[in-house]
Amino acid sequence: MRFGDVRPGSWTRRAVCVTALAAATALSAPAVASGAPAPATPKVDQQTLSSLGAFVPAIVGSVATAGPDGKVNADIASQANALASVPGMPPAVGEIWKTVLGFLNNTAKPSQVAKVAAKNDPIIPTGPNAPRIQQFLYPTIGIGCLPDGNSVGTALVTAGPQKAPAPGPARGQAGFVYTSLGTGPALDNNRAPLIAIWINIDTGRSGQINLKRNEKINAVNGPGTFTAIANTGKGRVLSAIYGNVTTKIKGKTVGCTIVPTVGLAYI
């Protein structure tokens, strides 16, 4: 899923197929295991994952192939708008889709994006030294990340300059953090990495980066926390985190796949 391998129009064709799949089917996954204390575990809505999870990598990739006018690909925008209006779509899911569209079209305000993300029970650090974070739009699951089931996953972005995630993004950089709740400490796995793909809508710059174990964050007892710092440049950054999580639980290495989640960040 590297942007350098994408031919013009290929993302749009893939997006049409994935959209049909996301709108017509439900995600098949076991029940979420309560691997973390209840107050710290956000709710995972299966309809949100069914609607957004399968489609997110396609929409990020399609935005990277803008139309002749340099704006967001009109086909992908219309497909996202159609998904937001599917009969029976829960209001919360439709609101997320509309927020994505507003972000792409530059009609959504940062406060509106933050408000939608906050509705999904994010885990927000508090206190005088808490990092300034932008939560991803919805929590996701790692299928089989726990010995007895799935792990809830949360993701966030920090815009530099600030200290988190260590060693801290500089100005014009984005710091990505993904936490697999209830698991043991993170392990690096180059053969099955956890990946963030991103596109700066305002500049057209795009890329992907592997999230890695961070020795300064939950490295001893977990939960498995993976971070990366990307040179996105300043602007509106649309991103998706997908791929695999590898952790050590009770002395055993456990690998699993996560359902993609999407982030909207102002860098």
Would you give per-residue pLDDT tens digits along the chain (267 residues)? 333 333 333 333 333 333 332 332 222 233 333 233 333 466 666 666 666 665 665 665 555 555 555 555 666 666 666 666 666 666 667 777 778 777 877 788 888 788 877 766 555 566 666 678 898 888 888 888 998 888 888 999 999 999 989 999 999 999 999 999 999 999 999 999 999 989 898 888 889 999 999 999 999 999 999 999 999 999 999 898 999 999 999 999 999 999 888 899 999
| Residue 235 CB burial class (10 angstroms; 0-12, 13-18, ≥19) | middle
Q: What are phi and psi of 253, to 5 degrees?
A: -80, 125
Q: What are phi and psi of 102, to 5 degrees?
A: -60, -35
d(CA 52, CA 236): 19
What would the DSSP string read from start to end of 193-205?
A: -EEEEEEETTT--
H helices, E strands: number in the chain? 6, 9
Structure tokens at 211: 């999230």
Cα 7 to Cα 78: distance, rounded to the nearest angstrom: 21
Sign for the CA dihedral angle at 93, 150, 157, 74 comes to: negative
- Which of 120, 150, 149 lies closest to 134 in space, CA to CA? 120
pLDDT of residue 247: 96
Instruction: State how far the Cα of 33 lies from the Cα of 181, in Å rounded to an integer.
Output: 10
Whole-prediction pTM: 0.74
